[in-house]
Structures are given as C-alpha cells and as structure tokens.
Amino acid sequence: MALLSDADLVVKATLRVTKSSAKELALLKENITEDAILETMLEYSILVDKPTFYVVKGIKLCRSGETGLHSLKRHPVDEFSKVDGQAILTEHDKAEV
C-alpha cells in the first residue's frame, strides 16, 4: 500500500479489468473497499494489471512487467523469464545498463 500511496494511486488503478475475473469476483462494484480489492489481488496475481516499480525517477506503473525490469538501475536477478519460459532479462541485458 505504501508504494501506491507514494505514487498517489488507488489500488483500483492497478486492477486488471479486461481478460480477468474482476467482474465475477465483484471487484468492480462501487462500494468495494481498497482493502478488499488488494486482498483479492494478492490471492490472484493475474488481477494485477500494472506492476509498480520504484525507479530512479520515482514510481512507474509498467505494463508489462518486463518494462519495469528494464527501467531498474540495478536488476534484482541475473536472469528472469515469463511463466511460458520466454527470457525477459538476460546477462546481456544487465551488461547494457
């Protein structure tokens, strides 16, 4: 929550609405709380539409996650792949930073 607060964002701004079960989980109702949305997003990560990163120039919402990885000054891992095995970050990418 602190990250979103620092970026002056609400949880709902990072919720994936299309191609997700947000509607079926009643996350689009006007009276739903930010805490309820966040709790559900933590349980079902597919609901997170825009991964959020602290970068040199502040906070950046990134769609897709690899955009965020490439925005970091230092990478947290040597290599990173998507669930399907597609390489997103390689040693070569790290050398270019």
Distance between the two ends of the chain, CA-based, in angstroms?
A: 29
Given pLDDT bands bounded at 50, 70 and 90, which one contains residue 58? confident
Which two three-digit tokens encode residue 65?
């996650």
Q: Are residues 4 and 44 in the same domain?
A: yes
H/E run at residue 58 = strand 58-61
pTM above 0.85, yes or no: no
pLDDT in tens, 14-56: 888 888 899 999 999 999 999 999 999 989 888 887 667 666 6
Domain that holds residue 94: 50-97
Strand pairing of 52-55 and 58-61? antiparallel
Task: State the total domains in the chain.
Answer: 2
- On the question of pLDDT at 73 being above 70, the answer is no
- On the question of pLDDT at 80 being above 90, the answer is no
Q: Are residues 84 and 42 in the same domain?
A: no
- The rounded mean pLDDT for the chain is 76
Q: Are residues 28 and 13 in the same domain?
A: yes
